[in-house]
Amino acid sequence: MCAVADETMAMRTLFRELELTSLKEGVATLHLRDPSYGSVAGSRREQIAEIFQRIVGAPIRVELGLPQAAPEQERGPIDDPVVDDPVVRQAKDLFGGTIVSVEVERGTD
């Protein structure tokens, strides 16, 4: 029973790293968000296809690919007071993140 639970958890983890980029003519194209899962996904291609077939209700062939890198954009420093907010700084430090943009949400009156 433990091996089944471990296998289920492994597949759930793998599916979190997959992104469906196309589904047409019986072919599901999936890209991995993290390339380090490439060998795992490749070895489980049949299991992935079986799960997709159950979801879609039709035979599916699965193609796997690595993430497609987005073109780098030149970014300058963000000039917004929220960047200096202590809570924002703490979140950046905790998660090792960076702020790439700040958007002001306008309420409807």
Which tens digits make up the pLDDT trace of 22-44?
888 888 888 888 888 888 888 88
Domain chopping of the chain, boundaries: 2-65
Average pLDDT, the chain: 77
Residue 26: predicted pLDDT: 85
**Position 93 pLDDT exceeds 70:** yes
**Position 1 pLDDT exceeds 50:** no
**Position 72 pLDDT exceeds 60:** no
* pTM attached to this predicted model: 0.51
**Position 102 pLDDT exceeds 70:** yes
Q: Which residue has the tokens 């202590």?
A: 86
Three-state SS letters, 65-82: ECCCCCCCCCCCCCCCHH
- The answer to whether 40 and 33 have CB atoms below 8 angstroms apart is no
